[in-house]
Amino acid sequence: MKRRLRSLDGSYSCEADVFEPDRYRQLLSLGAEVKMAVQGGGISLTAASFGGGARVINMRRFNRLLGFDPERGTVEAEAGITLGRLSAFLVKRGFTVPVQPAHPQITLGGCIAANVHGKNPYRDGLFGGLVERLRLFHPAHGELMLSREQNGDLFDLTCGGYGLTGMIVSARIRIAPLGGNCCEVTHIRVADLADTFARLDELKESHDLLYSWNDLARFDRHMGRGYVVAGTFVDREPAPAGPRRLPRLDPHRGSVARLSLINPVTLPALTALYYRASRGAGPRILDLTRALFPAVERTFYFSAYGRAGFIEHQILVPDSRRLDYLGEFEALVRRHRQPIGLASLKLLQGRQRLLHFDGSGVSFCLHLPNRPGPRALLEELDALNSQYGVITNLIKDSRLSAVTARHQYPEFDRFVGRLGAFDPGRLFVSALSERMAI
C-alpha cells in the first residue's frame, strides 16, 4: 500500500510502500530483495522509521502480551504493543515500566530501538537497561534470540540501534512495583537555568518524575525562569479518573494549520501565559495516564507550528562543564534573540557508548520553529556543543549533520563498523540513517 509518510517534526515526508503483516509467516517470509525500514507507532520526529527508498514494515499488528511474571518482575510482549496499552495492563496489577517517554502511542520496539529515557533518567536510566532479552528477525540471518549473555554484541547494537539491525519481534523487560494509584505533582519555581540545575540536584534521588519547564522566549534578566516538575506516586481513594480515550497522533496527515500559531512573534506571550498559569500548580493529584504521558492531551501542540514544523534539539552537557557551558549558551541565545518554544531540563547519569544518548550530565530539550533564524542559532550551537563535549540526541534533531554527529560521538565509526560486519548489504535503512551516512 502506497502512503505518504511525514515525520512528527514536519521536516521530512515521502511516498513509501507500507506493508502491515499480521501473521508470523508473513513477517518471517520477507526476503532481502528490497531495502526495508521498521515502523512502530509512526510518530518518529526524525523519520527514523521510513525514508531512504525503503519498504516500510509496520509492526502495529504485532501487539500481543506474551507473558507476565510478577514474582520475577518481568513482562514480555510483541514489539508493536504501545506503551499506553502495556501501561494499562500493568497498572491494574500494581506495576509500571520505570522508563516511559511522553506519549502512550510509542511502541515497545520503538523504545528499544531509540533507547529512550523517561521522566527521571538520573534514577531510572535508559530503556535498554530494562531489556532482558529480545527476538530479532533479519532476512539474511533468520530469527535470533538476543540478550546480554546470548549474542551480546548484537543485543548491544540493537538497543539504541535505530532499527538498523532488523525487526524487533518481541521483548521481555523488567518492570517495577507501582508506588501508588496516582501521582502527586508539585511545580517548584526556579529563577533561571542555574537555579534549575541546583533544584534538580537537590531532588534527583527523591522523586519518580523530575524535569523542568523553562521560559527561553524572553531575553531579559528573567530568561530561564520556570519551574521544576516533581512527582511522586501515592495512593488516594478514590483514585482520579484518567482520560476516557487517548487521542492519536497522526503526523502523516500533515499539519492542519496553514499558518503557524507558534512562531517567533507569538512565543513570548504564549510562554509568559503558560508560566503564570503553571507556576503555582501543586501539590496536585494526577491520574497515572496524565502523569506518565504528559503529551497525551496536547496533540494540538505539534501541529501548531504550522506546515514548516519545528526542530527538537536535545543535548547532554557533561557535569564537569555545565556551568561554563551555561554562560556561553545563554550569551548565544541572547545574541540571536530567537524565542524558544519549549525548554526542559533533566539529569542523567550513565556512560556514553556507541550512539546512545547517555552519560552523566544535564539534558537540555529545546523546541524551535523551523525557520531560518532558529536554524542559524542551532548551527552555532552545534559548534559550541562540539567544543564542550556535548552530544546531540540523534533521534530528535532532523537537521543534525553526519559531520557533527561523528565529532560528538567518539564511537560513531565503531557503531557503523559493527553494523556493517553484521549486515554488509545494509538491508535496513531510513531517512535518519541516510542523513547520518550510516
Cα 37 to Cα 164: distance, rounded to the nearest angstrom: 8
Per-residue model confidence (pLDDT) at position 281: 61
Per-residue model confidence (pLDDT) at position 280: 65
Q: What's the grid cell of residue 282?
A: 501543586
Q: How far is CA 189 from the centre of its chain?
A: 25
Per-residue model confidence (pLDDT) at position 239: 77
Annotate 16-61 with DSSP letters as a single string.
Answer: EEEE---SHHHHHT--SSS-EEEESSS--TT-TTS-TTPEEEE-TT
Per-residue model confidence (pLDDT) at position 282: 67
Per-residue model confidence (pLDDT) at position 35: 96
Per-residue model confidence (pLDDT) at position 256: 54
Residue with cell 534538580: 200
Read off φ and ψ for residue 334, nearest 5 degrees: -65, -40
Per-residue model confidence (pLDDT) at position 350: 94
Q: CB burial class (10 A; 0-12, 13-18, 19+) of residue 2?
A: exposed
Q: Write down the pTM of the prediction.
A: 0.94
Cα 343 to Cα 251: distance, rounded to the nearest angstrom: 22
Per-residue model confidence (pLDDT) at position 278: 80
Per-residue model confidence (pLDDT) at position 260: 83
- The structural domains of the chain, ordered by start, are 65-178 (3.30.465.10), 182-401 (3.30.70.2520)
Contact 55, 16 (CB under 8 A): yes
Cα 235 to Cα 257: distance, rounded to the nearest angstrom: 41
Positions in the chain whose pLDDT score sits under 70: 254-258, 279-282
Residue with cell 501539590: 283
Per-residue model confidence (pLDDT) at position 291: 87
pLDDT, tens digit, 9 for 90 and up, residues 397-428: 999 999 999 999 999 999 999 999 999 999 99
Q: What's the grid cell of residue 147?
A: 540478550
Q: CB burial class (10 A; 0-12, 13-18, 19+) of residue 232?
A: middle
Q: Reduced to 3 states, what is the DSSP secondary structure of residue 319?
A: helix
Per-residue model confidence (pLDDT) at position 252: 72
Cα 65 to Cα 100: distance, rounded to the nearest angstrom: 18
Q: Say if strands 310-318 and 391-392 run parallel, antiparallel, or are unpaired.
A: antiparallel
